[in-house]
Structures are given as structure tokens and as C-alpha cells.
Amino acid sequence: MRRSTKEILIKRAFLATAVTSLAVLALIMIFLFMEGLPTFSFVSVKDFLFGFDWYPTDEANPAYGILPLIAASGSVTALSSLLAIPLGVMTAVYLAEIASPRVRAVVKPVVEMLASLPSVVIGFFGMVVMAPFLQDFFDIPIGLNLSNAALMLAFMSVPTIASVSEDAIYAVPRDLKEASFALGATHLETLLRVTLPAALSGIGTAVILGMSRAIGETMVVLMVAGGAAVIPKSLWSPVRPMPASIAAEMAEAPFRGHHYHALFATAMVLFLVTLLFNILADYFSHKHQQSGAASL
């Protein structure tokens, strides 16, 4: 075989594998929609998304409204972001700007290890340690609730937020900081007025990715959130976010029955939300890329 023909074939083969990951994404979508869309033959899109009642197993009068599940996912994610964003960004700032190389060499692996803890272990910790603690400390009836889940989720999104923001802070051109120092600003002033604003789009990407991880996380909310499919009334309400509902009910849902399709439709909603988050993150990181001092 001629050398150039071989080269072209090899290139084509690599292109084919690269397209595979796109194909996987496409297949995920196809299968979710194939199994999810039949839902709308027995419940309208409006009733599905905005229905207050989720009683899929009620024989006489099943109801397939996932508003309580959406509200649960939203509130758990929002509350966990409230904790994870400051903690993650502060960790990133410390790692990129303050830590000495020796401290950095210890702290960075710690953050990575936290990221690698299996979610089922964090969920287990939330069940056996955090739940009884919250119950005693705040004198509430159930320790498995919205706050507990948000707390556990926060520790899962901190590493994502920290590592992506750190890259962004690290990438801020050095002459910007030097100019600020030359004007007599302290390190903190430089950080707040120059470095962080310049890294803002990267930090935005980090926050979106962290939230996307929190909203899709399953085992933690399955084990810790309490599981009641009602609109949360307080921080101590037991809730049932979308992933928890899917994971808990899939095993019992009769194959290709109404309940089964409704769960796939819930996964469709979840998939679309995370897809939106990821496209948003991608948009932020491309459109507002900080390339040198000129674009400030």
C-alpha cells in the first residue's frame, strides 16, 4: 500500500472514533426521547411539567405531575450552590494565588480526592452521621431532608468549582497583576479589582459546571433527601429530586407502562437541563475568553 494512502486511512479511522462520542450523545438523546415521549399520550406536557401531584403507582387515579420533583431538584441545587460557590471559589483563589508550592502540593490532591469520593459513600455518610446529628441538633423530626442533601451535594460540587476556577485564575495574564502592584495596590486589592474580574468568565463556567453536577447527582439525593414528592415548605422538608425519583422507582415500574415512560420523560427533563447548563458553560468560556490585557 502506498504510504500516503495508509496515512489517509489512518486519519479517517481516527475521525470515525472521534465522531463516536458524538454518536453516543445522540444515542442517549434518541433512547431517552423514544421511551420518554410516549408519556405525552396520556398526560399533557403542561400537566406533566406543572402538575402538583406525583402518584404514579396509584391504581385508580394515577397522577404524573413532576413539579414537586423539579422544585426539589431546584431547591436542593440552589441551596448547595449557596454553600459550594463561595467555598469552591475561595479554595481556587487560595490555590492559585496564596498557597506556597509546598502547601499547594498537599491541598490540590486533597481537593481531587474529595472529587473522587464515590457518591454512594457521601450519601451513606449523610444518612448515618449527618442525619442523626441534624435531628438532635436542630430538634427536627427527620434528619433526611433538603438541607442535609444540599450540604452533601455541596461537597461534591466544591472540587469541580475549585479546579475549573483555579485554571481561570491561573490563566490571568501576569502583566495585569504586575501593573496593579506597580500602582501600589496590595495583593488583596489586586485580587479583588484585577485578577477576579479578569477571571470572571472562567469562574462563571466553573459555577455552572458545579451546579450541573449537583442537579444530576443521584445517589446522594436518593439516600439523603428524604424522598417525599411534595413541594418543599422549609429547609427541613424531606424532598424527592428528579434523579432520586428515577433511581428509586425504575426497578418497580412495569416495563413500558405509563410509570416507566413517565420516568424516562423525567430523565429527559433532567438531560435537557444539564445539556443547557453545559452549553451555557461552553458559551461563557468561549465568548468571554480573556486573551491578554487587550480584551479587558
> Count of residues binding another protein (CB under 8 A)?
94
Q: Please, where are the H alpha helices in 240-257?
A: 242-249
Q: How many CB atoms are located within 10 Å of the residue 280 CB?
A: 16
Q: Does 202 participate in binding another protein (rule CB under 8 A)?
A: no
Scan residues 221-240 and list those touching another protein (CB under 8 A): 222-223
Residue 294 CB, shortest distance to another protein, in Å, is: 21
State the amino acid at position 273 in one-letter form.
Answer: V
235/75 Cα distance (integer angstroms)? 9
16/21 Cα distance (integer angstroms)? 10
Residue 100 CB, shortest distance to another protein, in Å, is: 6
Scan residues 238-267 and list those touching another protein (CB under 8 A): 243, 246-247, 250-251, 255, 263-264, 267
| Comparison of 146 and 219: residue with beta carbon closer to another protein | 219
- Asked whether the CA dihedral 111, 116, 117, 122 is positive or negative, the reply is positive
DSSP string over 12-70 = HHHHHHHHHHHHHHHHHHHHHHHHHGGGGGTS-HHHHHH-S-EETT-SSS-EE--HHHH
> Segment contacting another protein (CB under 8 A): 59-67, 86-94, 133-141, 230-238?
86-94
47/186 Cα distance (integer angstroms)? 57
Scan residues 145-164 and list those touching another protein (CB under 8 A): 155, 158, 162
Residue 134 CB, shortest distance to another protein, in Å, is: 15
> Segment contacting another protein (CB under 8 A): 54-62, 63-71, 121-129, 288-296?
121-129
Find the binder of another protein among 127, 140, 142, 231 (CB under 8 A): 127
| Comparison of 61 and 72: residue with beta carbon closer to another protein | 72
Q: Does 32 participate in binding another protein (rule CB under 8 A)?
A: yes
Scan residues 50-79 and list those touching another protein (CB under 8 A): none
| Comparison of 149 and 222: residue with beta carbon closer to another protein | 222
Find the binder of another protein among 54, 236, 277, 284 (CB under 8 A): 277
Residue 232 CB, shortest distance to another protein, in Å, is: 20
Q: Quick one: 166 exposed, middle or buried, by C-beta within 10 A (0-12, 13-18, 19+)?
A: buried
Q: How many CB atoms are located within 10 Å of the residue 227 CB?
A: 19
Q: In this structure, what DSSP letter does residue 288 have?
A: T
